[in-house]
Amino acid sequence: MIDVNVSLSRWPFRRLPLDETPRLMERLREKGITQAWAGSFDALLHEDMAGVNARLAEDCATAGKGILLPFGSVNPNLPDWEEDVRRCAEEHGMRGIRLHPDYHGYQLDDPAVPRLLDLAGEQGLIVQITLLMEDERTRHPLVGLEKVDAAPLVKLATERPELSLILLNSQRVVRGALQGELAAAGVCFDIAMQEGVGGISKLMQQVPFEQILFGSHAPFFYFESAELKLRESELGATVRAAIASGNAERESGVGS
């Protein structure tokens, strides 16, 4: 199994179970995870993104035991963010980057976003866009975040068919017809915030199974929650294998 949505370091508002990398690694190995795409909780509030990404790369290299794949963060509202994109690819050898438009205070129609996506594409990077980190009702009262509108991503993705775009934690804010439009534009979705009985089957009504990826949002969510979603939906062996690992392998270019 490949988990495309885990995070290292400390959630800034409270301690989480497994928020120490060795303990998280132990749980991922127990669950049969062979690769985990890891961002950093530090990216949400830190302004030294180069330092965040350097620590992430080091943590994945030293404690990741060949399983953790670092996905650096880029904040286009910070000076010299283009250099952060370059460092992720050229200095750290990362396979992708992770964006947090809500915490970083911009919308996807911001003029910097097309440039960011183009630079990522030139470097051959996967782009993960995290639309939500937590249920809005549980946020610290001092944290006022604007909801991110995913609609502009339809045009951005359509104009960049070679770019691998993945929405993380999207189902609370992207539903129905917009899901279908984004899927038709080539965007992929993880399952971390897909809720309800038969959740993956319901998601497949709008999104082809080839564009659905296994993501747990661990350690913020219990890993077992995502694991159960694969088990309780009647998917069949081929579809389950594709969501568990095959689709992520294709997006990351494994074996290509």
Structural domain boundaries in the chain: 2-252
Look up the CATH number of domain 2-252: 3.20.20.140
| Cα 237 off chain centre by | 25
How many secondary structure helices (H) and strands (E) does the chain include? 11, 8
pLDDT tens track for 153-188: 999 999 999 999 999 999 999 988 999 999 999 999
Q: For all residues of the chain together, what is the average pLDDT?
A: 95
Q: Extract the tokens encoding 62.
A: 């030293």
Number of residues that make up the chain: 256
pLDDT < 70 positions in the chain: 254-256
Evaluate whether 77 touches 100 at the Cβ level (below 8 Å).
no
Using an 8 Å Cβ cutoff, are 56 and 70 in contact?
yes
Residue 98 in tokens: 């992770």
210 contacts 243 by C-beta, under 8 angstroms? no
Compute the radius of gyration of the chain from its Cα atoms.
17
* Alpha helical stretches, state H, the chain: 21-30, 49-63, 81-86, 101-104, 112-122, 152-158, 176-184, 199-203, 223-232, 237-241, 247-252
Strand partners, 62: none
How confident is the model at residue 233, as a pLDDT?
A: 80
Tokens linked to 112: 């910097």
Burial profile 2-22: b = 16 or more Cβ within 10 angstroms, e = fewer: bbbbbbbbeeeeeebebbbbe
Beta bridge mates, 40: 8
Q: Cβ–Cβ contacts within 10 Å for residue 114, how many? A: 16
Token pair for 31:
């669950």
166 close to 129: Cβ distance less than 8 angstroms: yes
Per-residue model confidence (pLDDT) at position 254: 54
